[in-house]
Structure 1
Amino acid sequence: MEVKNKVIWITGASSGIGKSLALLAGQKGARLILSGRNTARLIEVQNALPNPECAHILPMDLGDIESLQECVRQALGFFDGIDILVNNAGISQRSLIADTHMEVYERLIQVNYLGTVALSKALLPHFTEAQSGHFVVVTSLMGKFGSPWRSGYCGAKHALHGFFDVLRMEHQKDNIAVTLVCPGFVNTDVARNALTGDGSAQTRQDQATARGMDPGRFAQKMLRAIEKRKMEVYIGGKEVSGVYMKRFFPRLLHKLVLRSKVV
């Protein structure tokens, strides 16, 4: 499947992975719907596209679940349909369990899990009626194994795998695909925007994140996985090996993660 002329709705499109994916898909001739909370940055992304007129801006707060049904209605009206929804928006966390307020856990679940589920569920009837559609969900390697300082983030990302694995099973008969994309370290602002124990942003970059994969290169690998309609893909550096170690050598992975610098 090629993305040329496909309608792709990308959440979290104002920066990082979402922005890079939008620019790449635009170069390949996709028609785009760009969503996020920062309208000014979304407009900058739109203007950077080779054909800005083939993209629409739809400001959206994934944490405002009650508004998502209306967002879907608006999105469907831009190009009279949607082919691919890229659930990319989310927030990370950097705090120890003992120091983390429950309100922070609630926010992480609200945005990373419930908001993503609500948006996808609102779009599902359109895909079912069309007997075609593709949900792409950016989770994380932290959706496959855990790491200190990211307890709530890991929990929300693990939950996405459980939900979307079932969605894939229930709607295979409707020709609806699900691709779970699991990034490792990618050099974006995810660490700077991560919530600390009291809910404030960390504001500084993690060393491991700064050394992570360039988001443009990541987008290239991600788009190939989308075009191949892969079920699940792991993209990153040596940290990807943690997925397989978790399965076959969990005690070894436990020791290695504890020794590594994760913040």
Structure 2
Amino acid sequence: MFWNNKVCWITGASSGIGKALAESIYLRGGRVILSARSAGMLNSLTADWEDKDRTLILPLDIGCHEELTQAAQKAQARWGRIDVLINNAGVSQRSLAAETDFEVMKTIMDVNFLGSAGLTRAVLPYMIARNSGIIAPVSSVAGKFSTPLRTSYSASKMALQGFYDGLRAELHSQGIHVNFIIPGFVKTNISINALKANGEKHAEMDPNQAAGISSEKAARIILKGLEKNKREIYMGIAPKVKLALFLSKAFPGVLAKMLRSANVK
């Protein structure tokens, strides 16, 4: 099987898509490195897993960039390789740009873009040495087009697109694949944990998120896409999002006009 004995490092593994991916890869025989800020939540996740020899709990705040190199060294040391890096950790936003504190903007970029890119940079030497590896950043449809209340969030995800598209080209001849994961509406706590203008949690479930696909279904789609080496892996794309994605490429002016009056929450 594709995942059997593969060493897979997943950030943001304590909940949502990251948790579902960790469970799925473990059940498929993979060796999983689980990172999130809360060691307690990671321990709870793995409490019922029988084969503890296939797990490593590695608490990490992806926004603390000075920790990334040491974390990569610990991950590499556990089994002598990192086959798959899934950069899933991230934070969303629910605030108008003019009202958002600069520190909140910085936090979003530090976590979503620099945290992902920085951890990838720390892992790359190990993958390059083996001429093998998969790097799978989790982005969002917000990385394809921006909407009100998501300005900094969209900017961070668009930055990921630029970084990883270029990285894919750089690594083409080195046996390392870059597979972009692009969720639409997946039922997770991302809207509840989104940051308001002052940095407080939004603490509300987005109705679109509530109606989205489950994290487990998203994980199945992601794993299938990685197995097939898809350049971009989409899931939870509602009809209105499909339309917006089409318009963003074919008729960006039309989409811009639509977004002016869009009922975004």
Q: Secondary structure at the match of 1:59?
A: coil
Give CA deviations for 1:122-161 in whole Å, capped at 9, x if unaligned: 1111111100111000000000011110000000000000
Return the offset for 1:105. Answer: 0.7
Does 2:111 align with 1:90?
no
Distance (Å, rounded) in 1 between the aligned partners of 2:22 and 2:258: 35
| Structure 1 residue 53: Cα displacement | 3.1
Task: Provide the C-alpha distance between the structure 2 equivalents of 1:57 and 1:79, rounded to a whole number of angstroms.
Answer: 13
Counterpart secondary structure, 2:187: coil
Moved more, 86-95 or 21-30: 21-30
1:144 aligns with 2:144: yes
The list of structure 1 runs, each at least 4 consecutive aligned residues, that deviate by more than 6 angstroms after superposition, is: none
1:27/1:50 contact within 8 Å kept: no
Q: Deviations over 1:53-111 (max 9, x none)?
A: 31110000001101110000000111111100000001000001111111111111111
Matches within 5 A, 1:30-109: 30-49=30-49, 51-109=51-109
Q: CA deviation at 1:258?
A: 4.2
Q: Look up the match of 1:195.
A: 195
Corresponding residue of 2:250:
248
Query: How many angstroms does 1:207 deviate by?
Result: 1.2
**Which stretch of the first structure deviates more once superposed, 84-93 or 197-206?**
197-206
Query: 1:14-39: per-residue Cα shift (whole Å, max 9, x none)?
Result: 00000001111111111100000011
Displacement of 1:3: 1.4
- The separation in 2 between residues aligned to 1:176 and 1:104, in whole angstroms, is 34
Higher mean displacement: 249-258 or 179-188: 249-258
Counterpart of 1:11 in structure 2 is 11
1:212: how far off?
Answer: 1.2
Partner Cα separation in structure 1 for residue 250 and residue 219 of structure 2? 29
Partner of 2:217: 217
The gaps in structure 2 that reach 5 residues or longer are none
Q: What's 1:204 paired with?
A: 204
Q: Give the superposition deviation at 1:262.
A: 2.2
- SS class of match (1:185): coil
Distance 1:3 1:226, change over 3 A: same
Q: Provide the rounded CA distance (Å) in 2 between the counterparts of 1:49 and 1:210.
A: 29
Is the Cα contact below 8 Å between 1:7 and 1:83 reproduced in 2?
yes
Decide whether the 8 Å contact of 1:179 with 1:229 is kept in 2: yes
Structure 2 SS opposite 1:149? coil
Change (3 A) 1:211 1:257: farther
- Residue 262 in structure 1 maps to residue 248 in structure 2: no
Residues 215 and 163 from structure 1, CA distance in 2 versus in 1: closer, same or farther, beyond 3 angstroms?
Answer: same
| Structure 2 Cα separation of the partners of residues 40 and 207 of structure 1 | 29
Q: Tell me the amino acid that sits aligned with residue 254 of structure 1.
A: A
CA change 1:257–1:78 in 2 (3 A) is same
Partners of 2:235 and 2:260 lie apart in 1 by: 22
Q: Could you tell me how far apart the structure 2 residues matched to 1:72 and 1:118 are?
A: 10
- What is the alpha-carbon distance in structure 2 between the residues aligned to residue 54 and residue 5 of structure 1? 8
In the other structure, the counterpart of 1:233 is 233
The worse-fitting range, judged by mean Cα deviation, of 229-238 and 24-33 is: 229-238
Q: Is the 8 A contact 1:91 1:190 kept in 2?
A: yes
Q: Output the CA distance in 1 between the equivalents of 2:257 and 2:57.
A: 45
- Give the % identical residues: 39
What is the aligned length?
A: 263
* TM-score normalised to structure 1 length: 0.96
Query: What is the identity, as a one-letter code, of the residue corresponding to 2:215?
Result: P
Matches of 1:164 and 1:262, distance apart in 2 = 28
